[in-house]
Amino acid sequence: MPRSQTPAFKPEHPGAGQEWHQRAQAEQPRLTTHDGAVVSDNQNTLKAHARGPSLLADVVLQEKLSQFDRERIPERVVHARGSGAHGHFELTESLAHYTTAKVLTQVGHQTPVFARLSTVAGPQGSADTVRDVRGFAVKFYTEEGNWDLVGNNIPVFFIQDAMKFPDLVHAVKREPDRGFPSAASAHDTFWDFASHMPESLHMLQWVMSDRAIPRSLRTMEGFGVHTFKLVNAEGEVTLVKYHWRPRLGLQSLVWDEAVKIAGADPDFHRRDLWEAIDRGDFPVWDLAVQLFTEADAQAFGFDPLDATKLIPEEQVPLKVIGHMVLDRNPDNFFAETEQVAFCPSRILPGMDFSDDPLLHGRLFSYRDTQTHRLGSVNFQQLPINRARCPVHHFYRDGAMQTNTPSGQVAYEPNGLAPKGPREHPDGLRAAPGHDGIGPRSRERASSFGEHHQQARRFYLSQTEVEQTHIAAAFVFELSKVNAAEIRQRMVAQLRTVHEDLGQRVARGLGLEPVPAPMPLSTPVRDLPASPALGLIGKMKLTLEGRAIGVLIHDGSNASTLKKLKDTLRNTGARVVTVAPRRLDVTLSDGKKVEADAQLAGAPSVLFDAIAVLLAPRAADELAHQDAALGFVRDAHAHLKAICMDEGGQTLLQAADLLPDRFYFPVSQIRDFMGGAATRLWERESRLRPQP
């Protein structure tokens, strides 16, 4: 049954209303009010006469307007713009030695999930490809209750203590006196805050890297960020970090490309995820864990409870334990993606929280904000949030109460409901902790005091190309800062991370003299470079999940086009034909075809590589059209592979492009496929000034 239809009324007792029921089944569903009364006219208000005043007695209008007036709810303060999908998680390796949580011990069992992937700073209407952290939240509907693993696509965070979270968000959001910029950190208040917070230096390296401009939600990692605890049947505690690794590998945009996509298609990531699932290209992430003990942590040289630090994979290797497949789009965006409520406080028996002070603030704040945003403490009863295991408690009443609790008793302990729910020793329990608690104080642990070594390690672990992108990102962001003292202070902070980075940013900003480094109590110690921290090294040379744009026009060679499409589709790539007009493109064999997209609405920024197949006459025509010239110029500027026939070469020459090793004639389709899976990074230094 199509989801736009609803089942016809079915009487409780056979025979009652049977004739009406049979007739209704054969008809289109009737429009009704909330109460089920059929609406006879949904086009016109009830009036005193045709040109007379509207009447208050029009209860259908009242209901319709009241419903409309209340359709919007407060958007999330952060993570407002998100995309969601249903799927399942399958465990492939048991962690029974570490936890009693069944979702992590029952190998082969598939647990339903709902994932929401989001930007952080921008409002609901902002663009997808802004430079920003991305949220990565997964709700597991397990047989022991819901488990929410709520994290980001970056493994560390800006701050160490939840006390600073409102300040961070206020700093990065629109400036309150002017109401802009939206979804951007390139303004005074954010960098003023960051320049006073050396603990943010590590996170800033990640956010200024290409991790913050992913090519697709399907090609980004996810992290739980915090250290959590697993507890086994004997009560033994193991510390754990969670990692999501995309099967498609990592893929990013270049900055100019991200900016242009925001204009060409602000829904680029949302559309990409939806369409991939809709056509059956289900994205898959492996779930990996880092497992270690308190004793192991003593040798790290940093505190694993500090959310501005990560645990190097070289010290604690990742252990893959399962995978998540997203295979179904929501039926209704608002009811599911918008109303889904993630709370880090949702864990299962066999799990517990570490003493991370940032995590502890989130345990309160997330539940509190969901209660405010969704209007009631009963938001767990919404279908997208409802647990799929039996739920028994004595909670009662409140707004949005959709259950109908029965019985006399609404308290515990009690003797009037002997068969009512009772606490059970197998439930949630606090993991064994320290023997004693010291005096209460408002202070940071001394183990949280070092802020530079991991930031420096991240920078040194990048390729030369990635280091250039980081420096260029800092230059762009800080060039938008009006207060000179903020630019000076931030460069002074960056020099404490690495002298090369600080000097490059100072040079890009034209700062003379270069500000002296911020004074440090101890020198920054170099740590070994970590290949795991780079993005380019984690790209997969595959066309699976990639999109190839093919520019065609009247006279394009039909057999070449067919061969190109067949060859590319066999690799898992999506081929999109683009033409100056969509309808009635006449190919060389005389057949008329419909292009997948129109040139003005499908610039090359939407594709991972392009091919240009043009007849000589069509090439001469397009050589005088800005959209066609921009199509090939942008592909070149964004370091993409270009395949062309003779007509394509004519267009490229008209665009004044100098061929390099990522230009492929149609006779070298196989070589083009290899280039289309990556980018020609060496081209970049010839195109743009490097800081």
Q: What residues are labeled active site?
A: 79, 152
DSSP 8-class letter at 388: S
396 burial type by CB count under 10 A (0-12 exposed, 13-18 middle, 19+ buried): exposed
Token pair listed for 648: 């394509």
Quote the distance between the C-alpha of residue 144 and its chain's center. Answer: 27
Contact 160, 444 (CB under 8 A): yes
H helix or E strand, kind and range, residue 87: strand 82-91
Cα-based angle 521, 525, 529 (whole degrees, multiple of 5): 150
Quote the distance between the C-alpha of residue 208 and its chain's center. Answer: 17
Contact 539, 250 (CB under 8 A): yes
Letter for the amino acid at 403? Answer: N
Q: Which residues pair with 246 in a beta bridge?
A: 285
- Distance CA(306)–CA(159), nearest Å, equals 9
688 burial type by CB count under 10 A (0-12 exposed, 13-18 middle, 19+ buried): middle
Cite the DSSP H helix spans in 36-132.
59-69
Contact 209, 149 (CB under 8 A): no
- Distance CA(458)–CA(470), nearest Å, equals 11
- Distance CA(8)–CA(122), nearest Å, equals 43
Position of tokens 């209460």? 440
What is the bridge-based pairing of β-strands 547-551 and 609-612?
Answer: parallel
Half-sphere exposure of 471 (CA within 13 A, CB side): 26
Token pair listed for 592: 């008329």
Position of tokens 């959001």? 173
DSSP 8-class letter at 516: P
Cite the DSSP H helix spans in 208-249.
none
Cα 541 to Cα 109, 251, 676, distances in angstroms: 31, 10, 9
Half-sphere exposure of 404 (CA within 13 A, CB side): 0
Contact 405, 381 (CB under 8 A): no
Residue length of the chain? 691
